[in-house]
């Protein structure tokens, strides 16, 4: 059980922070950095990790909407983008429901470790 969770965490690190495209890496790193700089005490790690995961999901959603269609058939871009946003919300909810508890825990642990690392560096630099 523990080995499976550790493998999931390592795979999340590889796929989210070391693989994929640069935009996904920037969204994930931005979510971690924002959460680490908002965090004031180490006891807030749980809520800041949740904040970071929500920011990561929202950033991915906005990225998907921004890559929306171009109006080439005479329709307005706004109406096509609105339909795409609704479709992306439905797809995202479906993907979230398909996520196993172990994979969700692995995302939480991976983001938590990075937030704690950035927060530690921030706290060490602020001691001056």
Residues sharing a CB contact under 8 Å with residue 4, sequence separation 6 or more, in sequence order: 102
Tens of pLDDT, residues 13-43: 888 888 878 998 999 999 999 999 999 998 9
Domain boundaries defined on the chain: 2-65+76-127
Does the pLDDT at position 68 exceed 80? no
Average pLDDT over residues 100-122: 92
| Span between the terminal Cα atoms of the chain, in Å | 42
* Amino acid 100: pLDDT: 86
Does the pLDDT at position 67 exceed 60? yes
* Amino acid 51: pLDDT: 95
């Amino acid at each position: 059980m523990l080995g499976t969770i550790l493998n999931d965490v390592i795979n999340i690190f590889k796929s989210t922070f070391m693989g994929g495209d640069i935009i996904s890496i920037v969204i994930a790193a931005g979510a971690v950095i924002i959460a680490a700089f908002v965090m004031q005490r180490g006891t807030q790690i749980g809520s800041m990790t949740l904040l970071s995961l929500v920011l990561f999901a929202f950033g991915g959603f906005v990225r998907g909407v921004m890559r929306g269609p171009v109006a080439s058939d005479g329709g307005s871009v706004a109406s096509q983008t609105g339909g795409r946003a609704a479709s992306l919300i439905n797809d995202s909810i479906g993907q979230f429901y398909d996520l196993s508890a172990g994979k969700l825990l692995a995302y939480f642990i991976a983001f938590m470790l990075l937030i704690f690392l950035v927060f530690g560096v921030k706290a060490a630099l602020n001691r001056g």
